[in-house]
Structure 1
Amino acid sequence: MEPSLRWRFALPFRRLNGAGAWVLFTGQFRLNFSAFRHGTRRSRDNIASAGGWRGTSAQVLLVALGMALFVTIAQDQAFEATAQEASSATGLKLNPGNISRIELAATFRTGHPGRVTEAPIVQGDTLFLMTGFPHTLYALDLAKPRIPVKWRFQPEADSAARGHACCGKGGGGMALAGGRLYLNTLDGRTIALDAGNARVIWAARVADPSLGETLAAAPLPSGDAVFLGNAGDRFGVRGWIAALDAADGHMLWRHYSTGPDGEVGIGPEFRPVHGDDGAAERGVASWPPSAWQRGGGTVPGPILQDRATGLILHGTGYPAPWVPDQRQGDNRWTSGLFARDAGSGMARWFLPINTHDLYALGAAAPSLLLDREWEGRPRQLLVHPNGNGHVYVIDRGSGELLSAEAFAPVNATAGVDRRTATLIRNPDKAVRRGLMTRDICPARPGAVTGASAFLPETGLLYIPSRRLCMDMEARNANHIPGTGFTGANIRLRPAEGEAVRGALVGWDLAAARPAWTVPERFPLSGGVLALEGGLVLYGTVDGVLKALDGRTGAEIWRFQAASGIVSQPLAFTGPDGRPWLAVLAGSGDGPEAEIDRRDATAQSGLANVLRDLPHPADPSSILYLFRLP
């Protein structure tokens, strides 16, 4: 049943029905009633509230524009949704000229306080979304009034994974292909579902959370295979990438990021980009004895497929432990970019990005595949903004490095040697055991963690940047499976003052320099959406969804959500034929909620550097749906 309360005000309030989180956006307020039961706030907007309470009543207090209303409302069952990756889109009508006319059509409060880092998925009239861990998947019917739930799926959850997820128990991800949803859960399982009814087709345990091993990103289904990689560098987990059979989930192949050539997938067709990498057994010889067995190099970021070349491309995470003195050598094949044959997983090339990674930056930040002219000739490019503050432009067929220039404040290095892809390090910023190295820029986890987007019409790459520096003290680390294997104390500070801890950078790809920069008060963590017509959208950790003119960086429109936005917006054409926009807000139980913000080193200093971040108005993750009138 629908809530019993419906009003329309002649004031700047829109339809009010059900319980929900208040939402503030340009020019008007939209409020939904907040119900309280046993001390826990439950809320619901135009759609429905999660949690399945039928027939319960709750007394609510609404205070707005000096009015106080007391009402008793009936609550009923929830509805559902999932997640998709979308960096740019074409054929949609949202543009800088009409985005200011977009209206909030509906919201959905999941009741789940965890972070959500990916966009929803939309296929036909159905929107899918996935919450943080422990996960719930929802399928919403966009074609029906009030967008009811089609189905909800809750996989079993291994509580051991709770302590092994970074920054608020997000993790995992979902992809859609051939009428199936393929789900990676944070606690190490890959599950195939019938997208129509959530029937489990198969489930495979692929990671062991008791060792600190999790799944952090969505799988990549393609043809007869589903590609995925593990996460857990900070626990000394040995990194791998694998392919599962899409039909039944059995493993087709798995290759590691450290160890013997045969286990890494190094064979006769491997072409080293760095000369030293042509030597045998680099995944063992570039480490102290046996250190590669607990050396990290996981695959926690997106996996890309280049159908034209038959390659899959992925980054590898940082080596473990963080203290570099305990892992002398180049630490292959961590902190770099791999191209592999999609059929066999055998390596074709590897580009080192952060050799002997001093600052635990890795190379797992999202990359992009672009086909463009480069210096007068057509190229198939891999573009990789890295946590070390440089944008790498690479020929994805050969691994040749074409450009590597800084997009963020950098003092730890003086550039990149294009011939060898080696960072030119600043000796004053070297990290040594027992010493405090101060003012290292950028700070870990890096100058970028979210997905960038590119617009051919502007020639600009839009990079969501984190502008932080750190003091790093390296210490001895002992490896105990399932516990942290880091070996460093870290304190963070803004690179450019408290007012600028992040920025959206409009990067001119051809000129290898910023065309414009939009400063942000807090680091940017979510992805960017760029639409044909020159519209760029992104969210901030203090809950602002922004729309910019992609040519100039000028802000056109903004919307205040009830929680931080660390996901990527999604634009799509709705069942009514009109342009829609979706975004998932949710950062309600990140380090700012769990840790004393006065602790300068907790959560690697993140809680302290975000000490002035406002607490969410609603800790639940919330789906916001907008459309053009």
Structure 2
Amino acid sequence: MKRAFLLGFGVALGVGAAPAIANDSVETILKDPKQWGIQTGDYANTRYSKLDQITAKNVGKLQVAWSFSTGVLRGHEGGPLVIGDVMYVHTPFPNTVYALDLNQEGKIIWRYEPKQDPGVVPVMCCDTVNRGVAYADGMIFFQQADATVVALDAKTGEKKWSVVNGDPKKGESNTATVLPVKDKLLVGISGGEFGVRGHLTAYDLKTGKQVWRAYSMGPDSELLVDPAKTTELGKPIGENSSLKTWEGDQWKTGGGATWGWYSYDPKLNLVYYGSGNPSTWNPKQRPGDNKWSMTIWARDPDTGMAKWVYQVTPHDEWDYDAVNEMILTDQKIDGKERKLLTHPDRNGFSYTLDRETGELLVAEKYDPVVNWASKIDMDKSSKTYGRPMVVAKYSTEQNGEDVNSQGICPSALGTKDQQPSAYSPKTELFYLPTNHVCMDYEPFRVSYTAGQPYVGATLSMYPAPNSHGGMGNFTAWDNKKGKIVWSLPERFSVWSGALATAGDVVFYGTLEGYLKAVDAKTGKELYKFKTPSGIIGNVMTYEHKGKQYVAVLSGVGGWAGIGLAAGLSGGNEGLGAVGGYAALASYTALGGQLTVFALPDS
């Protein structure tokens, strides 16, 4: 499975000897802003850096410091890690991993090149992306496209262990990163468009042995749910179990994939993540709420037991996966200090909850064009409390068969997809990379065959009408008031992850390939530079030898760029995205490059 090239190490990882308690290594690194030790910046998913050498006053002087070609085309999501003097860079399929020596101009220390069956590529929805590696206890962890989880020695690239987390022949694959928590590695699964049964799994960091697995739907015992103790909106779920919300055995191919981001609160000892769409995309074929697809989960990482859940889009009719990031902040809301969780969902509503109890505090649209639901019912005395008030015109489950529901906003891409937001404790604003896209949606009947697409809908996508004409916005969001503070229109969706810094600068990338820097308070554009390909990677920052650097992967692709990435031209191909983004080919081309920026030497 591997070939490592040892080109000489001689670089300190800067974390000392192996810790007595696993996870100390991660928390030590996360306390040091000079390093970037986790894909989301920290366990809270804030993507915020305390580095402040680059400021709103001098960011306009940024220059390219160095670059690195990954040797792979297609969509480059995620971003590099920096541990001590070493940078770890990953690629989409075939999932090559590089260790680069920052003391020697990015010299390759080792590379890992897994030999995967290319048969996994056809079962990867929406491009062959991977959202990056993780680090803990002197090892680099990642899950390959074929759902093989691998642990590598961070110094040498030697494989320490591997374990199979899914079967591509059944449509199971991977696009997500993994999360080390304490002595465990938390791993999700992709494949909601192939009728997989989603799950989150914990493996022992040292050995790769499975510790627990929690499914998204099925019997409570397999969900790791206690009906008397696990709550939704403050009430025990009781008899409101998963099985009763599915017809017959549909839950066995019910979707609920877990391919998004994970966050962790060490004080509460809870992990937060979301589950994806129910299968199929034809809602007529799966009556009921289809629990627990489209759900925010809070789990104990030691046992896997769920403390609370909240299904944001019951009986999904639009493919509004709930896998987007859960950002953890401690803020004062309504005059009271609360431990908050903010989740800008695919469905176009941003939710603010108490992350300890699961109490719903705020739920508002973060793009005014959202029309599939008028609001979220916030009346605690109502039988529909916490549910979206669906507008019948934009339901895809109309009377009769084969009805093409038109003008639905947002599209299946969501008002934002997986592209992660950032949060600045200085401004108390959330910076959301978003899609400004609507769709027509026509379901059709489909039967399940293992390893074959289980979609059952034809989509077409286009810019939101009667708007700025573009397909994206970069938006500053107030999670306590549920209001947009400012919003910057973009020609195409903003498919890049954002970065906020103590220098009062926020960075993001565009599908045309621009790295942009804006003022954290006002949104004023301060800098832009066009990289060789469209950016769907996540901007990160680190410090080396006293200098702050900003880095991002460019390489167009992902769902929005699937037409370019996979060479598709039919308007309804790529689950509807190809036609909507046809103009993107006039602005960028395929590539795979890391670009690193810094201020010039004074």
Tell me, yes or no, whether TM beats 0.5.
yes
| 1:581 match | 550
Decide which moves more: 483-492 or 86-95.
Answer: 86-95
Is the contact between residue 536 and residue 557 of structure 2 (CA under 8 Å) also seen in structure 1? no
| Paired position in structure 2 for 1:133 | 93
Alignment of structure 1 residues 182-221 onto 2, 5 Å: 182-221=141-180
1:501–1:522: 8 Å Cα contact kept in structure 2? yes
SS at match of 1:252: strand
2:406 to 438, 441, 445: 438
**1:531 paired residue number:** 501
TM-score (norm 1): 0.84
Confirm whether residue 610 of structure 1 aligns to residue 581 of structure 2: yes
Q: 1:599 aligns with which of 547, 570, 575?
A: 570
Task: Determine if the alignment matches structure 1 residue 622 to structure 2 residue 593.
Answer: yes
Question: Helix, strand or coil for the counterpart of 2:575?
Answer: helix
Q: Measure how far apart 1:114 and its partner are.
A: 2.2
Whether the 8 Å CA contact 1:133–1:170 is kept in 2: the answer is yes
Q: What amino acid sits opposite 1:107 in the alignment?
A: S
User: What does the per-residue CA deviation read over 1:337-392, in whole Å, with 9 as the maximum and x for residues that have no partner?
Assistant: 01111111011110110111110112001121111111111111110000111110
CA distance in 1, matches of 2:198, 2:221: 15
Specify the code of the residue in structure 2 equivalent to 1:587.
Answer: V
Deviation (angstroms), 1:511: 2.4
Q: Alpha carbons of 1:126 and 1:238: their partners in 2 closer, same or farther (altered >3 Å)? A: same
Higher RCO (CA 8 Å, separation ≥ 6 residues): 2
Q: Deviations over 1:220-264 (max 9, x none)?
A: 112210011111101010010110011100100001011101001
- Aligned partner (choices 260, 263, 266) of residue 225 of structure 2: 266
Q: Distance in 2 between matches of 1:424 and 1:514?
A: 21
Is 1:112–1:621's contact at 8 Å kept on the other side of the alignment? yes
Deviations 1:87-139 (A, max 9, x none): 11113311111111122111111220021111100011111100000111001
Instruction: Work out the CA distance in 1 between the residues paired with 2:158 and 2:180.
Output: 18
Secondary structure in structure 2 of the residue aligned to 1:292: helix
Query: Matches of 1:397 and 1:135 in 2, distance apart?
Result: 36
The runs of 5 or more residues in structure 2 that have no matched partner are 7-35, 42-46
Q: CA deviation at 1:587?
A: 1.6
Aligned pairs (5 A) from 1:553-564: 553-564=523-534
Q: Alignment partner for residue 540 of structure 1, among 504, 507, 510?
A: 510
**Which one-letter code corresponds to 1:422 in the other structure?**
R
* From 323, 335, 356, the counterpart of 2:282: 323
| TM-score, normalised by the number of residues in structure 2 | 0.88
Query: Relative to structure 2, which stretch is displaced further, 130-139 or 101-110?
Result: 101-110
1:413 alignment counterpart? 373
Distance 1:402 1:486 in 2: 34
Which of the numbers 43, 61, 71 marks the counterpart of 1:101? 61
CA separation in 1, counterparts of 2:566 and 2:68?
28
The answer to whether the aligner puts 1:467 opposite 2:467 as a matched pair is no
Shift of 1:270: 2.9
The match for 1:245 is 204
Q: Could you say which residue in structure 2 is the equivalent of 1:455?
A: 424
**Structure 2 equivalent of residue 428 of structure 1:** 393
How far, CA to CA, are the matches of 2:230 and 2:170 in structure 1? 33
1:40-119 equivalences under 5 Å are 84-86=39-41, 87-119=47-79
Identity of aligned residues (%): 32
Change (3 A) 1:597 1:212: closer
Q: Distance in 2 between matches of 1:151 and 1:344?
A: 36
User: Which secondary structure state, in structure 2, belongs to the residue aligned with residue 372 of structure 1?
Assistant: strand
Structure 1: runs of 5 or more not aligned: 1-50, 53-80
Match of 1:402 in 2: 361
Change (3 A) 1:122 1:598: closer
**Aligned twin of 2:22:** none
Q: Which amino acid aligns with 2:393?
A: D
User: Residue type of the partner of 1:158?
Assistant: D
CA RMSD after TM alignment: 2.0
Query: Which whole-Å CA distance do the structure 2 matches of 1:601 and 1:410 have between them?
Result: 22
Query: 1:457 deviation in Å?
Result: 1.5
Instruction: State which of 564, 570, 591 in structure 1 corresponds to 2:540.
Output: 570
* 2:525 maps to amino acid: E
Q: Distance in 2 between matches of 1:261 and 1:375?
A: 36
Could you tell me which residue of structure 1 aligns to residue 295 of structure 2?
A: 336
Residue 483 of structure 2 corresponds to: 513
| Shift of residue 592, structure 1, vs aligned partner | 2.0
Pick closer, same or farther for the CA change 1:494–1:165 going to 2, 3 Å: same
Residue 501 of structure 1 corresponds to: 471
Question: Which amino acid in the other structure matches residue 447 of structure 2?
Answer: N
Match of 1:285 in 2: 244
Aligned partner of residue 614 in structure 1, secondary structure: helix
State the shift of 1:179 in Å: 1.2
Contact kept, 8 Å, 2:437 with 2:463, in 1: the verdict is yes
Q: Is the 8 A contact 2:69 2:594 kept in 1?
A: yes
Please tell me whether Structure 1 or Structure 2 has the larger radius of gyration of its CA atoms: 1
CA change 1:451–1:594 in 2 (3 A) is: closer
Q: Which residue type is aligned with residue 520 of structure 2? A: G
- SS at the partner of 1:282? coil
Aligned residue-pair number: 549
- Which amino acid is the alignment partner of residue 301 of structure 1? G
- CA deviation digits over 1:486-514, x for unaligned, max 9? 11010111114573210001112232211
Amino acid at match of 2:571: A
SS at match of 1:382: strand
Which residue in 1 is equivalent to 2:18?
none
SS in 2 for 1:503: strand
